[in-house]
Amino acid sequence: MTTSRSIRLTVDGITTDTGVDDDETLVDVLRDRLGSTAVRAGCRNGDCGTCTAVVDGTHLKTCLVPAARADGTTVGTLAGDGSGRWVAPLRRAFMQEYAFQCGFCLPGMILSAAALLDRDPHPDDAAIRDALSGNLCRCTGYVNAVRAVRAVRSVGAPVSGHD
Amino acid sequence: MSPYRTVLPPDPAAAAEQLAETVTGGGTPLVISGGTLAVPALQRGELTPTVLVDLHRAGLDTVVLHDGYVEIGATVTYQRILDSPALAERVPLLHRVAGGITGGIQIRNQATVAGALCAARPQSDAPATAVALGARVVVRSVRGTRIVPVEEFLTGAGRTDLAADELVEAVRIPVGPAPRRCGYAKLKFAESSWPVVTAAALATAAPGATVVLGGVAVTPLRLPPTPPDRIGDVVADRLARLPPEQHWSDLRAGWAYRRSVAPTLAARALAAVAEEHP
């Protein structure tokens, strides 16, 4: 089966050339062609946020990114170490605060919280809620997620970690 | 196999040439900038182009301050608007609206004003804001470039006056010597919801301010400069005279509800103008 084109992606540090069809979006390329399941396919409409990844340093919903556009990009997912220094402490805080139940929303929740902390290491609660607003959680009601980000905010930037 | 072919032109001239070639060949082009609205619609088969012209690499991602106006390239995202000190200072209304776009950080990182104007959704923030700001749309094709006032660009719900071989290259917003005081109010039922009704207000030389309502009519509704104590009557009167074919309703709310909340939204936007100190 021929595809429209070949694109090169570096996902969590691993560079791969893969054939894609022009009507594919990045979430499907990551999951189905590259086996990266730390992005999830939820609404496919840009609402739920669980397909979030960091594309060339920018936090995006990958269900909205045409595959052809993604050629040559570096992609960090929740599973990788390439998604910034805030991801590891956020993962711990989300567990400590029980800020998830089924866990489906975590890619978007944690990566958008990381995007906020990159920009502002000491956000107020309104900024935290705003940052999480592009992610739908159907289990917890968001309060614990806000609490988890608050916990990381209080501790401040980790002195070591991956950048 | 993809039902369409994607092209990523290196500059707007190449994009215009691609559009002309596609149309001449009997094909159907679709231009996208951010793609946050078009990509899901493509995935669902609601849009059926033969060629997708993606402006992502067309070099249209700049904000440039000119004498009398600021030009916002077609692929400038809401986050770029938020990060622009020039826009924060000179066009505070746009800055404020950009900060409240539904969809969180990820959508602000990808969605664009130009794309929102092309989508022309009546309930979206951008159309009424652009009308309030007196924006003009820079439209390019191989036939030349034309500058269209946004009120003429938006022709209906989901409709613009773009021809099949034209693309939006940029949006121009007039800027005066001093920024105008502004206010913005919107009603939505949840943080993740599209707006129901929006009101964008800009101070005028006359007492009061100009208010433009979104989410009420199929295109943004501009009201005459109105002092705050008269805004309720002015909105009610204007909506009473709106022809039925211009009433907007969608699954979030019907026309009657929009009509009933519009005066309150307009009053809130005007109040926000009054609270600002120049």
Q: What is the mean pLDDT of residues B195-199?
A: 96
For chain A, the average pLDDT equals 92
Distance, in Å, from the CA atom of A103 to the CA atom of B276, rounded to the nearest integer, reads 43
Residue B176 is classified by DSSP as -
Measured between CB atoms, which of B1, B109, B191 is closest to A133? B191
Residue B180 is classified by DSSP as P
- Give the nearest chain B residue to A43 (CA atoms): B40
Query: Of B69, B88, B195, B82, which Cα lies nearest the Cα of B134?
Result: B69
pTM: 0.94
Q: What is the mean pLDDT of residues B228-235?
A: 93
For residue B233, the surrounding DSSP H or E stretch is helix B231-240
Could A112 and B6 be called an inter-chain contact, meaning their C-beta atoms sit closer than 8 Å? no
Distance, in Å, from the CA atom of B238 to the CA atom of B275, rounded to the nearest integer, reads 25
Distance, in Å, from the CA atom of A158 to the CA atom of B223, rounded to the nearest integer, reads 52
Give the model confidence (pLDDT) of A57-70 as tens digits.
Answer: 999 999 999 999 99
Distance, in Å, from the CA atom of A49 to the CA atom of B104, rounded to the nearest integer, reads 9
Tell me which chain A residues have a C-beta less than 8 angstroms from the C-beta of B104.
49, 108, 112, 130-135
pLDDT at A163: 42
Q: Give percent of chain B with pLDDT exceeding 70.
A: 99
- Give the nearest chain A residue to B40 (CA atoms): A45
